[in-house]
A and B are shown apart, each in its own frame.
Chain A
Amino acid sequence: QSVLTQPPSASGTPGQRVTISCSGSSSNIGSNVVNWYQQFPGTAPKLLIYNNNERPSGVPDRFSGSKSGTSASLAISGLQSADEADYFCAAWNDSLNVLFGGGTKLTVL
């Protein structure tokens, strides 16, 4: 059981805005930055959002992140079929380890 809690699934139609939540505690999200990863089937994860809300070069601005207290969110606007993937949040934990969320499978209807 992951210490960072994500919904197992999310869905939306093309063009819609979808958000994925990630809930933690004061010892991880509450005191450290949150990063998000995108993973397509059969491939390695890719860094999508870092430092809560920053995008690596090449990531479209349709993807955005936010953090408040012990929770974080990933928002995808203008949803596209190409966004169908698994999304994972991650944060450093004050117990000197890295925590990942259980992952959210995004389906574009």
Chain B
Amino acid sequence: QVQLVESGGGSLKPGGSLRLSCAASGFRFSDYYMSWIRQAPGKGLEWVSCISSRGSTIFLADSVKGRFNVSRDNSKKSLYLHMDSLRADDTAFYYCARGSRAYFDYWGQGSLVTVSS
């Protein structure tokens, strides 16, 4: 069965950097676009980024452009979110999801990132 497992979350101070990982299994990872979506505690969903199946095309939300980047390693069936210059308003659960263009058919359990001084 399809499984997405995020890791790498944690607590850090503003201005710091973090890399989230998402390990995929149960499907041919290299065939699918993958995305990151975040949710501040008690708030709604916010799309963060999307990467094409081969990694050649990347979309990023305006709120993270210039600070975040997304990459993937198809040989490891892994998706990554590289986050720099973190701010307090980046505090959220970060979900890895299979799909793109608002169609996300499988989601991970989420990884909490807390940015606080």
Give the B-binding residues of A (Cβ under 8 A): 2, 32-35, 37, 43-47, 50, 56, 88, 90-92, 96-103
Say whether chain B's binding surface is mostly helix, strand, loop, or mixed.
strand
Expressed in whole angstroms, the Cα–Cα distance for A92 and B35 within the complex equals 13
Is the beta-carbon distance between B44 and A98 smaller than 8 angstroms? no
Q: How far is the CB of B34 from chain A (nearest CB, A)?
A: 13
Query: Is A32 in contact with B105, judged by CB distance below 8 angstroms?
Result: no
User: What does the 1/0 interface line of B87-98 toward A look like (CB < 8 Å)?
Assistant: 000000001000
Report the Cα distance A34→B101, complex, angstroms.
10
B107 lies within 8 A of A97 (CB): no
- Please measure, in the bound complex, the distance between the C-alpha atom of A102 and the C-alpha atom of B46, giving whole angstroms: 9
Give 3 closest A-B pairs by Cβ, nearest first: A98-B47, A44-B107, A90-B102
Select one of A33, A34, A97, A100 contacting B45, CB under 8 A: A100
Is B109 a contact partner of A90 (Cβ separation < 8 A)? no
Given A47-B105, A97-B61, A97-B62, A88 and B45 contact (CB-CB distance below 8 Å) = yes
A35-B102, A44-B108, A98-B50 are known contacts. Are A90 and B45 too (CB-CB below 8 A)?
yes
Given contacts A44-B95, A50-B103, contact A102 B44 (CB under 8 A): yes
User: Number of B interface residues, CB 8 Å?
Assistant: 20
Nearest CB in chain A to that of B6: its residue:
A44
Which residues on the A side are within 8 Å of B104 (C-beta)? 35, 37, 45, 47, 90
Q: In the complex, which residues of chain A have a beta carbon less than 8 angstroms from the beta carbon of B101?
A: 32, 92, 98
Known pairs A32-B101, A32-B102, A33-B102; A44 contacts B110 (CB<8 A): yes
